[in-house]
Amino acid sequence: MDKTLVMKFGGTSVGSADALTRAVEIIRDATRDWARVVVVTSAMSGVTDLLLSSANPSEASVGADSCQPLRDAENKLREKHFAALDSLVKDETLREQTKTEINSLILSLVDLCKAIAVIGEASPRALDAVASLGERMSVRLLAGVVNEAGIKAQWTESTSFVVTNAHFQNANPDFKVTSEKTRAVLNPILDAGIIPITTGFIGATPDGVITTLGRGGSDYSAAIIGKALPADEVWIWTDVDGVMTTDPRIVKEAQTLPEISYGEIAELAYYGAKVLHPKTIRPVVEAGIGLRICNTFNPSHAGTRLTSNGKKNGRVIKAVTAIQKQRLVTIEGRGMLGVPGVAARAFGAVASTGTSAPLITQASSEQSICFAVPSETATTVTTALEETFAREIEDNDIDRVWSTDDISIVTVVGAGMRHTPGVAGQVFSRLGEEDVNVLAIAQGSSEVSISLVVDAADTENAVKALHGLIVQ
């Protein structure tokens, strides 16, 4: 059977006429080596943020003078998409047809924003309808540009085959139904020798209501399609040379990792590395599909290949990452000792606020539970905990619920740590040498990562110090 490749292009990879030209050449090159190619595209860079800001009820006000922000957004969207079409699509009929389709979507944004302004509230369902428009415009633009280049392509919206629940803004796909529909929609296009160009990030409920898979969900879309067809490989095209040993903005000596395991990338994605959406990994692992991360602006670079095991390359530690703008929330009190259900109630309260805790630690004496939450949610979370434990606080079984100032979670990742004694000692020795104080520690049972909490001001020093363990 002919081999199938799914390629996803991120927002910067389709964000300008120059970027689109590069994307077209990458697609052309892929068709030389792969009989069947599926392309998944994000919205043009900056478009989703512009769409969502337009949907802010205060921005979308229907007052005489306050329509200007919405008009400005409308004009920016036309200018961004039409400029690329004018530059790259010379066929007048194709160009004008594509402009008409994109303009229709822009006008639907205006209608949606006006409706939101009248109601005075943007529901999650309405926000998904608004956010989906960027990908829906981009898919038409990219298909037009690819066809102009002499490559047969056909756009199709993933709402016709990615079927999700109604959890708007972070929907989950029904893999069984999605697989059936994906094959039914895409295989006839592929069998005709045409490249399907489809939207990332979005799906639809069984009733056809548009949903989104969460910000950055286009990676996830590519993995879903890859699993459903099934594809042989999924390539994620972005604006960096793959997965790096750390953020190059913090450490200029950061290097690209040629290979990394699924377990390692899962930890990196969860703990702040933005190269890959965290949910992307599960479908490709389950389907046994190869995954590669490449740079649209440096396509000759091999990028990073993800494998089931990942080579050690002589390195115990592969990468260091940091989540910033977090706060530690602590519940403490002598009355917690030996009392069952405290943790369950605590995290039930956290869940009720819609907050996820990326790090949790508990003293062995059971006199305190400590966990991290995003800084902007800390006040809401502490209030919910105080309400949940109001009686225990009144009876002095719990002394207090409090949160720190801003902290960062710094995570050291490497599958080799599992079999290497003394790694934790090296980590803490290196931090001690740089006078970095560790506020809390957590290590998963997989031993693929160690996470430590440091003051926000110590983030850069901590990352630089621990990156030294990789390159030494």
Q: Positive or negative CA dihedral for 106, 109, 111, 113?
A: negative
Q: How far apart are CA 418 and CA 405, in angstroms?
A: 33
Is 32 among the domain residues?
yes
**DSSP one-letter code for 119:** H
Is 308 among the domain residues?
no
Q: Would you tell me the crossing angle of helices 124-148 and 92-119 to the nearest 10 degrees?
A: 170
- For residue 320, how many C-alpha atoms fall within 13 Å in the half-sphere facing its CB? 23
Does residue 274 sit in helix, strand or coil? coil
Does residue 336 sit in helix, strand or coil? helix
36 - beta bridge partners? 4
Nearest to 77 by CA among 123, 46, 32, 33: 46
Instruction: Please give the sequence-ordered ranges of beta strands (E in DSSP) within 162-215, or none if there are none.
Output: 195-199, 202-204, 210-212
> What is the model's pLDDT at position 446?
62
Is 71 among the domain residues?
yes
| Residue-number span of the structural domain to which 159 is assigned | 4-239
196 - beta bridge partners? 154
Nearest to 224 by CA among 240, 208, 211, 213: 213
**DSSP one-letter code for 257:** -
Q: Would you tell me the crossing angle of helices 92-119 and 47-54 to the nearest 10 degrees?
A: 40
Q: How far apart are CA 462 and CA 426, in angstroms?
A: 13
Alpha helices in 34-91 (DSSP H): 47-54, 68-88
322 - beta bridge partners? 410
Measured CA distances, 367 to 343, 359, 394, 460 (Å): 11, 18, 17, 32
Identify whether the C-beta of residue 116 lies closer than 8 Å to the C-beta of residue 59. Answer: no
In tens digits, what is the pLDDT along the chain, a chain of 472 residues?
A: 689 999 999 999 999 999 999 999 999 999 999 999 999 999 999 999 999 999 986 655 544 445 678 899 999 999 999 999 999 999 999 999 999 999 999 999 999 999 998 888 899 999 999 999 999 999 999 999 999 999 999 999 999 999 999 999 999 999 999 999 999 999 999 999 999 999 999 999 999 999 999 888 899 999 999 999 999 999 999 998 988 899 888 899 889 999 988 888 878 876 656 678 778 888 998 898 999 999 999 999 999 998 876 554 557 788 999 999 999 999 998 877 777 788 899 999 999 999 989 999 876 556 889 999 999 999 999 999 999 999 999 988 899 999 999 999 999 998 877 777 888 889 999 999 999 999 999 876 567 889 999 999 999 999 999 999 886 5
Q: How far apart are CA 386 and CA 393, in angstroms?
A: 8
- 3-state percent helix, strand, coil for the chain, nearest multiple of 5: 45, 20, 35
Does residue 455 sit in helix, strand or coil? strand
- Whether the bond between 230 and the residue before it is cis, its omega within 30 degrees of 0, is yes
Give me the number of domains the chain comprises: 1
Is 201 among the domain residues?
yes
Is 323 among the domain residues?
no
DSSP-derived secondary structure for 200-241: SSEEE-TT--EEE--TTTHHHHHHHHHHHTT-SEEEEEESSS
Token pair for 247: 């953020």
Identify whether the C-beta of residue 413 lies closer than 8 Å to the C-beta of residue 422. Answer: no
Is 144 among the domain residues?
yes
293 - beta bridge partners? 236, 304
User: Which domain CATH number covers 171?
Assistant: 3.40.1160.10
Q: Positive or negative CA dihedral for 293, 284, 135, 113?
A: negative
Is 155 among the domain residues?
yes
Q: How far apart are CA 4 and CA 240, in angstroms?
A: 24
Identify whether the C-beta of residue 40 lies closer than 8 Å to the C-beta of residue 223. Answer: no
Is 464 among the domain residues?
no
